[in-house]
Amino acid sequence: MSIFKDILNTLRTGAVVTSPVYYTQVTGVPGIGTAVAYTAGEAFGTIITFDVPKQGTIANVVFLDYDDEGINKDLVLFNGHFTHTADNAAMAISSGDLRKAIGVAYINSWSDLAANRIGQAFPALSYKAPQGKLFAQLVTRGADNIAAGALPDIFLVVV
């Protein structure tokens, strides 16, 4: 019963319990071929490594789309190193590597900013990363064709 009292007191006083917010480095998506035609379901770039707290919850994934395409992506996340799929090949993860997966963030919310776009995912995806790193690879859900000089960046927001 005391937990309910605590919740009621919090609601009455307006107090909010928060966690520290951690932003990973803004990093380019490695391995993307420019002027290459991608199709849905293909790996978009190669392995991405994020330095993160050893445990937390991914609140947001932010994809900076300088090529202004706004094509949905899946970010497949792992808490250990995995064998990535070659860029522009059908995404395939081994059963052994799948055991390291912590989940998928669906980048499917887009803001069109005229010359570029911001794509976001809001996964609320909790993890443990013993090495203080998460490993990931993107899967495109459309027909990307990235221009030279317009390679995208990505970062995570962790609480």
- Cα gap 117→71, rounded to integer Å: 10
**Is residue 27 a part of any domain in this protein?**
yes
**Is residue 72 a part of any domain in this protein?**
yes
Backbone angles phi, psi at 65, to 5 degrees: -100, 90
Q: Which residue segment(s) compose the domain that 145 sits in?
A: 19-158
**Is residue 136 a part of any domain in this protein?**
yes
Q: What is the mean pLDDT of the chain?
A: 92
Q: How many domains does one find in the chain?
A: 1
The C-alpha angle 60, 86, 98, rounded to 5 degrees, equals 60
pLDDT tens, residue by residue, 88-101: 999 999 999 999 99
**Is residue 35 a part of any domain in this protein?**
yes
**Is residue 8 a part of any domain in this protein?**
no
CATH code for position 94: 2.60.120
Least confident of 14-28, 52-66, 104-118, 135-149: 14-28
Q: What confidence score (pLDDT) does residue 8 get?
A: 54
Q: Enter the tokens of residue 41.
A: 């379901």
**Is residue 31 a part of any domain in this protein?**
yes
Q: Enter the tokens of residue 89.
A: 């090949």
Look up the pTM and report it.
0.88
- Cα gap 48→68, rounded to integer Å: 21
List 116's β-bridge partners, or say none: none
pLDDT tens, residue by residue, 1-44: 555 565 555 556 665 556 789 999 999 999 998 999 999 999 99
Backbone angles phi, psi at 95, to 5 degrees: -60, -40
Considering the chain, what percentage of its residues have pLDDT values greater than 70? 89
**Is residue 49 a part of any domain in this protein?**
yes
Mean pLDDT of 49-60: 97
**Is residue 85 a part of any domain in this protein?**
yes
pLDDT band at 135 (very low <50, low <70, confident <90, very high): very high
- Cα gap 4→32, rounded to integer Å: 51
Q: What confidence score (pLDDT) does residue 19 get?
A: 74
